[in-house]
Structure 1
Amino acid sequence: MIHNPPPWPNGARCAAAFTFDIDTDSLVHLFYRDRAPDMVATTSWCRYDEVAVPRILELYRRLGLKQSFYYPAWCMENYPELVEAILKDGHEIGHHGYIHENYNVLPAEEEEKWFVRALEVHKSMTGQAPRGFRAPTYNFSRHTAALLVKYGFQYDASLMTDDFPHMVDAEGGSFVEIPTHWALDDWPQYVHAPDFGYQMTVRSPAEACAVYRAEFEATYRLGGLWVGIWHPWVSARPARLDAIAEMMEEMISRGDVWIASMEEIAAHLQQLEKDGIYEPRRIRLPYYDKGLPDDLLPSKA
């Protein structure tokens, strides 16, 4: 096991971040280009973000937290009042594609086109370029790392490489990777969505938070980083957000958990490396430039 925990601020035992991806109804249009106007029930579910985001912001105000949201730019354009509310409260908004497109299936030129289109929306609506990126559905392609370097991103939050933040070297430069994994995502816990080809058994809030808590306790012992990946229209229903709030309060009450935004975590790692206090692990992307030759692969998987 690679065990290389960074020193956290003020002697904290571990770090944690509560992140929300605000996809709203981008998925409806992505999955159903022509039929989206007829998908009224599914769209109404996704548009619960209009109720959920203010509820999350109210919780953060009560707990005194500044956190990170990841936003497809199309959703920003179509729900500007939510963007304004997030910015007003001082939270970070990260890049999350334009309309939740899948970078893994796009040619490099088309990936960059949509990446830049989203980037320009962020600049226009927030007054600055985003510092962080999370690939929609974690679909980070072999070209994505080079784009993050080219456009000056501080960090990525898409990969599942480690228990600690680390550095990624790519063509032309490097950036911080703030990893997480599927056990901390709310879709496996709650999402039953036949229209999106995703049908999980819906868990109770107690069952979902038991998974999150187990992962947190292990992170706490390791001195690592715990990052929740949630969606307002999934996890901010009253019972679910109540359970999350209770978990947040427990983490805060320990007194030795550094709860920070993702950009704060990335900046901390960069400063540690710059000051010579800590040497983070480094990986290079992409892992492979091409597939394996036929003589190394069976005719059927």
Structure 2
Amino acid sequence: MTDTWRGRAAAVATLTFDVDAETPILAHGRRYARHAMTMSHQAYGPEVGVPRLLDMLDELGVPATFFVPGWVAEQRPGLAAGIVERGHEVAHHSYSHRAPTSMSEKEERADFERALEVFARQGIEISGHRAAMWEATWFTAELVAEHGLLYDSSLMADDRPYRLSTRSGELVELPVHWSLDDWEQYAFLPQPHVGSVIEDPRKVESMWRAELDAMRHYGCLFNLTSHPFLSGRPARAMALRRLVEYALGCGDVEFLRCRDLAARAGRDAALSPREPEPPSVDADVYPVE
């Protein structure tokens, strides 16, 4: 093994699953708790999708990272521990799945720390974080570093890992992108409106395979985000399985848990730290707040 984040692989793949369950819908309004169809649509994720995907990962012999909101872990005791027992990582995905950009710094901190408390009570080691909806603020990375986590996975400034330097210390960013998220491909609900397209899983598989091949060429991080209530559905799970089988057959793709990749990237001297800060915006040029 070399001292770089990729090791000897052409590309590194991180399979990540956001186990949101009911939280993204409740974040639109707690009134949706009265909608039995909507709540059952979301509950499918932890109740059916997660077990199906865990079995698939076992059969393929690849590790994954499951980003779990604290509320979901609290409502379903044993869910997070069951994922860890299968050899995978559980990571922080807020408490409520409310976007940090909709909160004050005080509210973001309270939500963040409430999730940490849930995982601490359950004995779950937390190394990384992903903001709800990926809507991190400029304060988010500092908050993650302050609590001693190794990495964040919410930003989009690269297609390779990079290091973030904050006032609370340094952490690794494992960047994401909409093109590698199943939400844009499969999410559909009439109320609240969260998406209106249901793509053919074969088309999605082809698109993700093309992205993987390009990332093998350029030496990138294939950071795939899936949701068990979406990709846990049968045809979609089979498409994901075929994608992983293809990657394994390439012979130059390494699958890692996010925490393992972050630890490796943290040791990579070639990754120069970046300081997350907003652009300077002239009110005369952009008068609308």
TM category (shorter chain) comes to: over 0.9
Aligned equivalent of 2:182: 186
Q: Deviations over 1:153-174 (max 9, x none)?
A: 1000101110110101111311
CA RMSD of aligned residues (A): 1.7
Is 1:214 the counterpart of 2:210? The answer is yes
Unaligned runs of 5+ in 1: 1-5, 274-278
Q: Is the 8 A contact 1:143 1:286 kept in 2?
A: no
Aligned equivalent of 2:10: 13
Is 1:163 the counterpart of 2:154? The answer is no
Distance 1:109 1:207, change over 3 A: same
Aligned equivalent of 1:144: 140
What amino acid does structure 2 have at the position aligned with 1:86? I
Runs of 4+ off more than 3 Å? none
Q: Distance in 2 between matches of 1:169 and 1:54?
A: 37
Q: Deviations over 1:93-124 (max 9, x none)?
A: 11000010111021111111111111111111
SS of the residue 1:247 aligns to: helix
Q: Which of residues 62, 66, 82 in structure 2 aligns to 1:65?
A: 62
Q: Which of residues 7, 25, 29 in structure 2 aligns to 1:28?
A: 25
Aligned equivalent of 2:113: 116
Aligned equivalent of 1:79: 76
Aligned equivalent of 2:275: 284
Aligned equivalent of 2:198: 202
Is 1:52 the counterpart of 2:49? The answer is yes
Q: Distance in 1 between matches of 2:199 and 2:146?
A: 41
Distance 1:110 1:222, change over 3 A: same
Identity in percent: 32
Q: Which of residues 261, 265, 270 in structure 1 aligns to 2:266?
A: 270
Distance 1:191 1:268, change over 3 A: same
Q: Distance in 2 between matches of 1:27 and 1:205?
A: 23
SS of the residue 1:202 aligns to: coil
Deviation (angstroms), 1:84? 2.7
TM-score by length of 2: 0.94
Q: Is the 8 A contact 1:145 1:286 kept in 2?
A: no
SS of the residue 1:174 aligns to: strand
Q: Distance in 1 between matches of 2:64 and 2:195?
A: 29
Q: Deviations over 1:177-200 (max 9, x none)?
A: 011200000111011123232233
Unaligned runs of 5+ in 2: none
TM-score by length of 1: 0.90
Aligned equivalent of 2:227: 231
Aligned length: 286
Deviation (angstroms), 1:295? 1.5
Aligned equivalent of 2:283: 294
Q: Distance in 2 between matches of 1:261 and 1:155?
A: 12
Deviation (angstroms), 1:221? 0.3
